[in-house]
Amino acid sequence: MTRIATLAARLLSALCMLTVVLAWAGFAFGTESTWWIELARYLPYPVFLALALLGVLLAWPSGWRWRLAALAMLPVVLVPIMDLHVHRGEASGRAPLRLMSFNVKAYEADNKPDGFGRLAWEIALHDADVIAMQDANFANTAESLPDPIKAALGKRQLYLSGQYVIASRFPMRDCRSGDISFPGEGHHYVTCTIAAHGVEFGLATAHLLSPREGLNATRHERLGGLAEWRENFAMRLIQARRLAQDLAGHPRPLVLAGDLNAPDSSPVIARLREAGLRDSFAAAGLGYGFSYGHSLRPHLSFLRIDHVMVSAQIGVRDSFVGGAEASAHRPVIADLWLKRE
């Protein structure tokens, strides 16, 4: 390579490495005010992998120091940026409970051949004790649920409210709605008290505002769409704050299950951690736990925006995601321990 070509390759390699480092730092230290960092959290991870690999390719002719520096960007992408987890389950207890959170996209299933059958198969496969579904506008009453869904839910007690369905093998009581509206739109979440193995715990399920409109605005309008993205992020934060305020200081052990439409590093999830909740996959998951993206090109899951979060009184033995065939969202399954006093 000529001297000019070598300098150009080094410069481009350095820019690739700098971009990866800045993304890492942004994801780690971004706050509610750094809305542009939040936008980058929704980029598919192959973008960051491609940058790291391009940096290695450009650095290779420049000697071992450049090669090592560029190669060091690969674990930065693979671990903190892509949010790799290799945790073992937490200490066991005497009251095991399997819980599933599933955005079923019922309106999409209704338009697919055997769409409800696929959802029913996924539900039956994991056989959770408690199932919290979002976008589950199947019907207004339990009796009018699609037959495959009724069969999969079996004799579980049901509670339906708008887009939410909660199904439990254990007795439920005091189910009610809570307000997570933001200016211009009304939204709610649902909470119930469930008694299992002699322990009462609270279950909340929520579906926060989708980032889709804000992301589409920035993709199609470039800089002109940033204002819409900023507003989209702000509304999701309002919902997270309201939800966290409602759940903080809950008198019982608590589980929050839902499509929160935010990665674990987002300030949206940070607001919920401030309410005393921790993410089950972060506590006991293995791998990346991506739950969304497989319905988009290039048909791979690349975001972990569906969550099961638990309070300190609940242990997590395992957490993982289900299959991609039934819905645009993979379900999140958490094997929990209810800690008896």
pLDDT for position 220: 87
Q: What is the pLDDT of residues 209-263, one digit of tens each?
A: 999 999 999 988 888 899 999 999 999 999 999 999 999 988 999 999 999 999 9
Calpha distance 27→32 (Å, rounded) = 12
How many other CB atoms are there within 10 angstroms of residue 116's CB atom? 22
Helix ranges, 176-304 (H):
212-221, 226-247, 267-273, 280-284
The pLDDT of residue 184 is 93
Q: What's the pLDDT at 339?
A: 79
From the list 37, 42, 34, the residue with the least C-alpha distance to 19 is: 37
| DSSP character at residue 225 | G
Which DSSP category does 249 fall into? T
What is the pLDDT averaged over residues 144-164?
A: 97
CB 118 within 8 A of CB 112: yes
Question: Residue 13 — very low, low, confident or very high, per pLDDT cuts 50/70/90?
Answer: very high
Q: Is the pLDDT of residue 1 over 80?
A: no
Q: What is the structure's pLDDT at 341?
A: 60
Question: pLDDT digit string (tens) for 283-325?
Answer: 999 999 999 999 998 899 999 999 999 999 999 999 999 999 9
* Percent of residues, the chain, with pLDDT higher than 70: 99
Per-residue model confidence as pLDDT tens digits over 46-64: 999 999 999 999 999 999 9
86-338: CATH topology is: Deoxyribonuclease I; Chain A (3.60.10)
Separation in Å, CA 47 to CA 43, 62, 90, 282, 302: 7, 24, 34, 23, 11
- Give the E-state strand segments of the chain in sequence order: 85-86, 96-103, 130-134, 157-161, 164-168, 172-179, 188-196, 199-207, 254-259, 278-279, 286-287, 306-310, 314-321, 332-338
| Beta pairing partners, 98 | 335
Taking all residues of the chain, what is their mean pLDDT, rounded to a whole number?
A: 95
The answer to whether residue 16 scores a pLDDT higher than 90 is yes
| Cβ-based burial of 126 (10 A; exposed 0-12, middle 13-18, buried ≥19) | middle
Residue found under tokens 């200081």: 249
Contacts of 25 (CB under 8 A, 6+ apart): none
Per-residue pLDDT band at 340 (split at 50, 70, 90): low
pLDDT of residue 87: 82
**133 has a pLDDT exceeding 80:** yes
Residue ranges of the domains in the chain?
3-82, 86-338
Contacts 24+ apart (CB under 8 A), 240-245: 240/208, 240/267, 240/268, 240/269, 240/271, 240/272, 241/271, 242/179, 242/180, 242/181, 243/178, 243/180, 243/189, 243/204, 243/206, 243/208, 243/271, 243/272, 243/275, 244/271, 244/272, 244/274, 244/275, 245/275
